[in-house]
Structure 1
């Protein structure tokens, strides 16, 4: 059984442990691996004016890197993102099949990855 307080503390300390986002994300992957099967983390932002998702950082347990990758998205996918952004939704979403989520499918394909499960967390501003 996962102790929620321990998980939150470890994740928070790992993220706050560096001002370099790629280093903080890599530390967070390592800390999270003690509780969940995780192999990588992405920091991405939707850019509606460009109709694309921008990847800013990618991290694994071995390290992280800042990137600037622009992934063009299909119109149907952009519409889905806009609809979900306008509607109230959960901050954490489990995607257990990329086939049922066009955003996940397009992003995984762009990065050359196959996914089995994705944990998506929205960042509040």
Structure 2
């Protein structure tokens, strides 16, 4: 399956803009959410194929939200890639344990991001 629709979830307006810009310039349809509640609504109504999820956010953090999303049968087939400034190996491993398919560290290298998206089946 080729990814076309991506939801960027990040509490930083700057990061949302930068990630959206990279993705839109490469032909992706992008929606954004500033927090977990907004993300859950957009997942339900917009049906993205990939969620690019920050870790550190107010309310539910990205790990908690990823766990909630991936355990809901209604979201079967939805991929989540964590995107965070937290660059420790333990963060990457914990993200994968919560149900994320991959992890990328900010600041994002556009070529690496696009390569990781392209590898998602």
Same-fold call, TM cutoff 0.5: no
Asked which structure has the greater CA Rg, the reply is 1
TM-score of the superposition, structure 1-length normalised? 0.25
Q: Which has the higher strand share?
A: 1
TM-score of the superposition, structure 2-length normalised? 0.25
The structure whose RCO (Cα within 8 Å, separation 6+) is larger is: 2
